Amino acid sequence: MTGRRIFAASTSVALVAGALAAGAGTIGSAAASHAGVARHTAVRPSARYLREARVALVHYLATHRSPALTLHPSASRAVGNTIVAATSANWNGYADVSSTKGEFTRVSGHWATPGVTCTAEDQLTSEWVGLDGATDSTVEQDGTLSWCFQGVATYYTWYEMYPAATVQVGNTLQPGDLITATVSRSSGNYTLSVTDATHTANSFSVNKTCAITTCLDESAEWIAERPAFNIGIAPLANYGTWTLSAGSETAAGKAGTISSFAKVDQIGMLDATGTYKLSTTSTLTGGNTFTTTWHNSY
């Protein structure tokens, strides 16, 4: 749900929202008034609504484009370990970055699924860990996704071997569910796993392959994202805050934390004009824990 692209977007987000709403139908008993703001409630949306929301999400994600829309470090890197401020139009979090092919073999993190506040506008937020994408056009990633569709929030676990399509796995994910996400590789073989300790039906572990000449594994990421697709970038759903802990990676065969690698990007998300903040990233605590904070949708 990520990666690197040259950013030259002037597409209206109103068009994005309209495209995401195509094919909508009956929401059911958990629907909120489109005139107001609704937070996810304990009432489960109707089965019909859940089917329609999933169909719309699959259609959207089938046409999205990944990965990160240009990371802009704000300063030149110093020699040795350093954390550099960077900005992106759709990423928010941390990335360890290398110029050595095959540097990273594992990335992992832990978090509680954030609840989202929905309006009538269709919006998305996705939290994940992954390899690749900060400096190349592939990403091997998995995590959680919050989808505001017609004013109601639905939540999923998922994985992706971009540029292949996103695969939604669990649809009983709830705010507060405790998640551990991991991506690991051995040569060209990848294991992508998400464990939902709260609702175990959302857990999975899958094995995929990607040639080492294609998936270069030059970066490891811990990211909150607003996915981009063929006509623009989705509005960022109001997730409040998201805290990732136990952020770890293995680089050149050595296990470490986010901060232990020599080149670390602290990524903030800006609007399309680069004028104001959509989501900000805190400094690291203990080298492996940080919080991102929502400020605006687009």
- Residues of the chain under the 70 pLDDT cut: 1-44, 63-67, 69-81
pLDDT of residue 46: 79
pLDDT of residue 57: 81
pLDDT of residue 82: 80
pLDDT of residue 99: 92
SS (H, E, C) 32-55: CCCCCCEECCCCCCCHHHHHHHHH
**Residue 278 CA neighbour count, 13 Å, CB half:** 27
**CA–CA distance from 79 to each of 28, 76, 83, 101, 262 (Å)?**
57, 10, 11, 20, 8
Query: What are the tokens at 207?
Result: 């094995």
pLDDT of residue 121: 92
pLDDT, tens digit (0-9, with 9 covering 90-100), for 149-169: 999 999 999 999 998 888 999
Domains of the chain, first to last:
13-294 (2.60.120.700)
Specify the pTM.
0.83
Tell me if 235 sits within 8 A of 297, measured CB to CB: yes
For residue 288, give the DSSP letter. Answer: T
